[in-house]
Every structure is written in C-alpha cells, then in structure tokens.
Amino acid sequence: MIIERIEVDSRVFGRNVLAILDFDPAANFSACEREYIDEFDPAYVSSKVPLDRVSDIHALERSGFNFIECQIRAAMKLRKPYDVSQFPYDFDQVTREEDLQHVLQIAGSTFLHDRFRVDPSVASQISGARYREYVRKSFHSPDEAVYCLRERASGRVVAFKTHRYVGSTEVLFLLGGVHPELKNAGLGLISEYFEFNTLIGKGIRRGITHISASNHSIFNLEIGRVGFRVLGTFAVMRKVYPTGVATLGTATQRK
C-alpha cells in the first residue's frame, strides 16, 4: 500500500495527515498502520475506496476507519462556448496578492458540504483553513490557476474558480465558491460558464471534477444541468488519531 503525506492538510492540522492510495485488504494492514504511525505520528488518515468494493470498506471499518463522505467523480467535454454577454461580470485570472485576499475570504467561509466540516472529530476551524490554503496553493502552482468573477460596475469579487491543467487538453476542476451573501443568485452557474469559455479558448476539451453526494445543489447543477457524466463513486473512509498531549487541529507538528 502507498501512504502519501498530504502537505496542505498537514500544515492546517498542525500534525501529519496521510492518504492510503491503494488500500489492499489482502495486505497486513496492522503492520502497515504501525509503520506509518511510527514514521508520521498522524492526526488523520483517509482512504478513498470505490463503492462497489464493499469488502474493502468493511476491512477498513474493522481497522477503525469510519465512513465520512460519498464522493462522485464526473467528467464533461468542453465544446461550444456559452453566451455570457448578458451577464454584468468579468472573469479574470488572479495574479496579484491583493486580489487573492478577496478570494481567500470567500473560500474560508462559503463551503458547507465537506467531510471536514461535518466531522465531529475535527476542529471546527479546519474546514475553512483548508480551503484557503488550497486556493493559495493554486495561486502559486505553475500547473494550477485561480480565477475570480467580478461585478463589472463595482469591481467586487463575487465568486471564484480554481483548476489544474492535466496535459494540454484536460483540466481537473478543483474549487469553486460564491460569496456567502450572494448564494442562490445563480452565480455558481454563471462562473462555470465563464470558466468553461476561458478553458475552451486555451484549447481544453475535457474536464474532470469530484463532488460530494451530500451537496445536492452542486450535484444537481453539474450532473443534472451542466452535463457532467458520472465516472465513478467512492466511499471516503477516515481514521482520527488523537494524542494525549494535544488537541486535534491545534497540535504542533512533530515530524
């Protein structure tokens, strides 16, 4: 089994956060767990397992992991640009730290449907802090980008999108958020149209996304309206490793 340390999550938690990338129920998991505990002293370990591999899910449960999220992987082809001429917004790549701050404010407060926010074993501040750090990572990574949707008249940032380029014709859609005061105003769909047009202009022809099945509004938007097609469904399993000397989310990283 491959054990990966998640850099951003580890920084936010203050202790190591790991992912099991290829869980194998036939392997000696107890020995593997002892090894990664000795090496990393993790706060949180997760594994994403296809939903049809029920025996793998049960094996993780027997090892103390709990189900925390059903995740859907979906894809769409980017063909014809959308008509956005009627919308009073501009969609620009964020290249200045000053503009990034407006996006980070939205990222830290807009998300309600994620496995960290609903997890009673994870400190409440973790969720928003993670999203801010992942947006910051996209801002600094050469293969990722941050875009913002602005009101043309005022210049106010009302939504944002991030994505990662995978090869010359494909992207992985990462995060998208709307200002908390402007939810249910259709800005999520509008920002997607602008993002699709931008990517089509760059020669991108296919996009992949991952969404939580509990996020009904995004599920209905992307699967029901925009045209994403489901590629796979996954059970996200996680195990929390508290320590006797620190509280989850506030500990000092030791490794």
CATH number at residue 115: 3.40.630.30
Q: Distance between CA atoms of 125 and 248, rounded to whole angstroms?
A: 11
Same domain, 170 and 187: yes
In this structure, the number of other CB atoms found within 10 A of the CB of residue 101 comes to: 11
Same domain, 196 and 140: yes
In this structure, the number of other CB atoms found within 10 A of the CB of residue 98 comes to: 8
Residue 48, strand partner residues:
236
Q: In the prediction, which pLDDT does 34 show?
A: 94
Same domain, 57 and 23: yes
Same domain, 101 and 56: no
Same domain, 26 and 66: yes
The two three-digit tokens of residue 58, written as one number:
């049960």
3-state SS, residue 229: strand
Domain count, the chain: 2
Same domain, 94 and 139: yes
Has residue 175 been placed in a domain? yes
Has residue 120 been placed in a domain? yes
Has residue 252 been placed in a domain? no
Same domain, 64 and 158: no
Has residue 247 been placed in a domain? no
Q: In the prediction, which pLDDT does 214 show?
A: 87
Q: Which helix (H) or strand (E) holds 49?
A: strand 44-50
Has residue 223 been placed in a domain? no
Same domain, 27 and 101: no
Has residue 12 been placed in a domain? yes
Where in the sequence is the domain holding 54, given as residue range(s)?
Answer: 3-71+235-240
Same domain, 119 and 178: yes
Same domain, 96 and 23: no
The two three-digit tokens of residue 242, written as one number:
């508290």
pLDDT in tens, the chain (255 residues): 899 999 999 999 999 999 999 899 888 999 999 999 999 999 999 999 999 999 999 999 999 999 999 999 999 999 999 999 999 999 999 999 989 999 999 999 988 878 999 999 999 899 999 999 999 999 999 999 999 999 999 999 999 999 999 989 999 999 999 999 998 889 999 999 999 999 999 999 999 999 998 888 888 888 878 889 999 999 999 999 987 323 333 333 333
- Compute φ and ψ for 71, nearest 5 degrees: -115, 140
Same domain, 42 and 62: yes
Same domain, 33 and 93: no
